[in-house]
Amino acid sequence: MKVGYVYDPIYLKHNTGQHVENVRRLEAIISYLEQTGLKQQLSQIKPRVATTEEISLVHHKQYISYIQEVAKKGGGWLDVDTVMSPNSYDAALYAVGGVIRATEAVMDGKVGSAFALVRPPGHHATAARAMGFCLFNNVAIAAKYALNKYKLERILIIDFDVHHGNGTHDTFYDNPQVLYISTHQYPFYPGTGSIEETGSGAAKGTTVNIPLPAGCGDTEYLLAFEQIIIPIAKRFSPQLILASAGYDSHWADGIALMQVSVIGFAQMVRIIKGLADELCSGRLAFGLEGGYNLTALAASIKATFDVLLGNTNIEDPLGQAPRRFEASNITSLIKSIKGIHNLP
């Protein structure tokens, strides 16, 4: 089955200057995919502008207007982390539309899986607030869009960015149709995502936070996937899987203190793909979130595409992490999460 990718130069119009989340991220990804010959193995999906109605599935209309007005006035800092340029609003519309188009392509059977290489990222954006480099919550909007358009009853969102996706968490905290699972360094920005936060009302149990201590690498992440994510996903039995794909837990990424390798990301993606193949006819779409070391980011995304394509030879130009930290023992954490979510 074909594997799709979304990309458009419009995403470079979100000009953040020397900010860590900048145009060089996508330039490095596309360049590496072209240099390695992998890009030609993929099917391109054209993004589109998301409508105000689509964005308002998650965000307040007053907030959408506010972001538009900031762009019209030339951009500026929305908080200490998040900056806009004059074209950021348009880029953000295409970022939402890009993840929607990737989701549609998967749901309509045009591709088996897809990855939307978009920016600005989205998982920190709440209904009425931009934060953490994010303007609109691309993946959350795509999930709500898919629930409505395809009359779905169950969508799984797996967020493996190094930061907790507080915006996505908030969006679906009381929605039993969406199972949100997040692996993240904790305590760390934005300070949310404890194991006790599990959803409210009828959605109790459909928020699963896996707050990992600094220093976790491939072994710890895979343990969390195998012991928690796989059994909970199978119990939920989603009709579509979306992934908020952040690669900032790579050991070479200076924004955090994790020790995941390119091979580690490939193993996680292989598990996610296996779940999609088993539970929802392979329907799987990724939206890009973090990842700020350009070499690690480009190599990890190539590895992701390799797994989706069924390529078995995964290249890791950076190798395993140097021993900056002692390996973290997460046995008791896993046991606690299993107890909270009634896992064997």
Catalytic residue among 14, 59, 123, 124, which?
124
Max CA separation in the chain (angstroms):
55
Q: Give how far Cα 137 sits from Cα of 6, 9, 131, Å.
A: 17, 20, 10
Q: Which of 115, 157, 162, 101 is nearest to 302 (CA)?
A: 115
Half-sphere exposure of 264 (CA within 13 A, CB side): 27
Distance CA 112, CA 286 (A): 12
Torsion sign (Cα): 227, 232, 234, 239: negative
Q: Residue 45: enclosing H or E segment and its boundaries?
A: strand 43-45
As given in the structure block, the two tokens for residue 257 are 């203190």
> For residue 344, is the peptide bond before it cis, meaning its omega torsion is within 30 degrees of 0?
no
Report yes or no: 95 and 122 within 8 Å, Cβ to Cβ: yes
Active site residue 124: yes
Report yes or no: 193 and 169 within 8 Å, Cβ to Cβ: yes
Report yes or no: 218 and 263 within 8 Å, Cβ to Cβ: yes
CA angle at 99 for the pair 82 and 97, rounded to the nearest 5°: 80
Helices assigned H by DSSP within the chain: 24-35, 52-55, 61-72, 88-107, 138-149, 166-171, 218-224, 230-236, 262-279, 294-309, 331-340
| Unique residue bearing structure tokens 């020790």 | 259
Beta bridge partners of 84: 76
Q: Which residues are catalytic?
A: 124
